Amino acid sequence: QQQVKQSPQSLIVQKGGISIINCAYENTAFDYFPWYQQFPGKGPALLIAIRPDVSEKKEGRFTISFNKSAKQFSLHIMDSQPGDSATYFCAASMFVSGSRLTFGEGTQLTVNP
Partner 1 sequence: DGGITQSPKYLFRKEGQNVTLSCEQNLNHDAMYWYRQDPGQGLRLIYYSQIVNDFQKGDIAEGYSVSREKKESFPLTVTSAQKNPTAFYLCASSTRVKSNQPQHFGDGTRLSIL
- Give the nearest distance from C-beta 15 to partner 1 in angstroms: 26
Does the protein bind partner 1 through residue 52 (CB under 8 A)? no
Query: Which residue stretch of 11-19, 34-42, 54-62, 71-79 sits at the interface with partner 1 (rule: CB under 8 A)?
Result: 34-42
Under rule CB under 8 A, residue 49 binds partner 1: yes
- In the complex with partner 1, which residue's Cβ is closer, 62 or 89? 89
Total Cβ atoms within 10 A of residue 93: 18
- Beta bridge partner(s), residue 67: 72
Q: How far is the CB of 59 from partner 1 (least distance, A)?
A: 13
Q: Name the nearest CA neighbour of 112 among 15, 2, 1.
A: 15
Cis peptide bond prior to 8, omega within 30° of 0:
yes
